Chain A
Amino acid sequence: MKSIVIQSIVLIFLLGIFSSCDKNYVEPKPVIPGPAGSTGATGTTEVWNISFNNWILPNIFNNASKNCAQSSCHGGTFKPNLTAANAYNSLFETALTGKPVDTVANAGAPENNLLYQKVKSGGSMNDKLPQASYADSILLWLQQGAKNN
């Protein structure tokens, strides 16, 4: 009887321990590339609420100097179509390579989205971005739920 009590106490203690066992990291403060004219020594600003239509689209996908949506590229030739009229819906379309943005499948892990995988440092599209670090703002947009805002 006594050994059962002892074992129960130890078991409850161990269960209590391992049920709350976790593996988290202290998150670094993200550096968000800001829109043109933003302040900051490195040309960045700390602005939350990434707007797809007012920031992602004009500054990244349809940037005047480095435009993803050229007719020979993502302007209709390759998916996703990143022209202003089609970009948002096209990012959610099922393509041969899968959905570039799939908030359902990657909920809680936006960094696994195909879009971010392509544009992040080391991704095949990273050097096509107007600034390589703009991938961070795409990740933030994904983390905020990839809204059509």
Chain B
Amino acid sequence: MNLKFSRLVLPFVALMLSGVCLHAQDTTAVAEEKPVKDKRPVKNAFDSNWLINSQTMVVPTRNTLEFDINHRFGPLKNGVKDMYGLYAPSNIRLGLTYTPMNSLQLGAGMTKEKMMYDFDVKWNPLPQTRSGSFPVFITYFGNLVIEGGENSVNWTLPDISGNDSIVNKKFPEYTDRFSYFNQLIIGRKITDRISIQVAPSHAHYNLIDTMANKGIIHDNFAISAGGRVKFYGEMSIIFEYFHPLTPAEDIKPNFGIGFEANTSAHAFQLFISPYTYIINQRDVVFNKKDPEFISDYSIGFNVTRLWNF
């Protein structure tokens, strides 16, 4: 019996001992190798393409289709008369973006205010790496916006017989409808809960009205900063500040603060901010609502839906 037991048990003991020995050898081997740097981008630096009125530094993974709903209600100033802007005239954007390859995103959208059509590109050539070998995201965001709507008549000049000889229209040339926005977004996911970004920006308008907007220029510069702080699960506080560096007369900066909740395929942001144009260049160049007065703020929300193919 004892012999039989020994025959059964001893091989196991020997195997276990040999396993221990092998394990020890493995450990030694690993310790001698240099640690491999993980150069993959850090995950979930932000959970959405949007940070209130701006773009975040992240580009979704390849083959991601995103549907955006951006909504800005009216200003709070009318109080219960229009339920703090909820029933006031509002601004809406519907957009689609697609990521045909890692780090590059293309998008398009339509905005109600002035019927603006935007075509966007976001490119993240330098992501923050998981190993920390590259410490920040550096992302370019640019758009071309075409102002739609009627090409209304500004003024006419009749000839000697009273017929309109010269008709000056709102957009004398088609390219007068164009405006551009370029932004370099530099940001970092500091911890699992905190991500921040800074973005110097440039906005260009092909056509400007110096009579209606004193001091307006074609090329405008601005800088913005914003971030996200997760406070519970997938819920976060989001904030943003946008400061025009070359403002025309009466043009104001922006401050926005809100709440974000995420699921794997959705992001929902609810916030207040004086900026309501949604299109970045219009907010930077034309906003006259003052963030110092709470009555100038409006409630807004962004909803994104993601599909992965």
Measuring CB to CB, which residues of chain A are less than 8 angstroms from any residue of chain B?
2, 5-6, 9-10, 13-14, 16-17, 20-30, 32, 46-49
Given contacts A5-B101, A48-B159, 8 further A-B contacts (CB under 8 A): A16-B144, A17-B144, A21-B178, A22-B173, A22-B207, A23-B218, A29-B168, A48-B160
Measuring CB to CB, which residues of chain B are less than 8 angstroms from any residue of chain A?
101, 103-104, 106, 121, 123, 125, 140, 142, 144, 154-155, 157-160, 165-166, 168, 170, 172-173, 175-176, 178, 180, 204, 206-212, 218
Q: Are B158 and A17 in contact (CB under 8 A)?
A: no
Q: Roughly how many angstroms separate A22 CA and B172 CA in the complex, as a whole number?
A: 12
Cross-chain pair count, CB within 8 angstroms: 79
Q: Out of A6, A14, A17, A32, name the residue touching B103 (CB < 8 Å).
A: A6
Within 8 Å CB of B178, what residues of A?
20-22
Q: Are B209 and A32 in contact (CB under 8 A)?
A: no
Across the interface, name the chain A residue whose C-beta is closest to B125. Answer: A6
Q: Are A21 and B159 in contact (CB under 8 A)?
A: no
Within 8 Å CB of B157, what residues of A?
29-30, 32, 46-48
Q: Roughly how many angstroms separate A14 CA and B144 CA in the complex, as a whole number?
A: 10
Within 8 Å CB of A14, what residues of B?
142
**Do most interface residues of chain B lie in helix, strand or loop, or is the interface mixed?**
strand
Q: Out of B106, B166, B207, B211, name the residue touching A48 (CB < 8 Å).
A: B166
Within 8 Å CB of A13, what residues of B?
121, 142
Q: Roughly how many angstroms separate A63 CA and B82 CA in the complex, as a whole number?
A: 63
Q: Roughly how many angstroms separate A5 CA and B104 CA in the complex, as a whole number?
A: 10
Across the interface, name the chain A residue whose C-beta is closest to B219. Answer: A23
Q: Roughly how many angstroms separate A9 CA and B105 CA in the complex, as a whole number?
A: 11
Across the interface, name the chain A residue whose C-beta is closest to B176. Answer: A24
Q: Roughly how many angstroms separate A2 CA and B123 CA in the complex, as a whole number?
A: 13
**B118 shortest CB reach to chain A, Å:** 12
A sample of 12 inter-chain contacts (CB < 8 A) reads A5-B101, A9-B104, A9-B106, A16-B144, A21-B180, A22-B173, A22-B176, A22-B206, A24-B206, A25-B210, A26-B154, A48-B166
Within 8 Å CB of A48, what residues of B?
157-160, 165-166
Q: Are B160 and A49 in contact (CB under 8 A)?
A: yes
Q: Out of B103, B159, B166, B208, name the residue touching A26 (CB < 8 Å).
A: B208
Within 8 Å CB of A30, what residues of B?
157
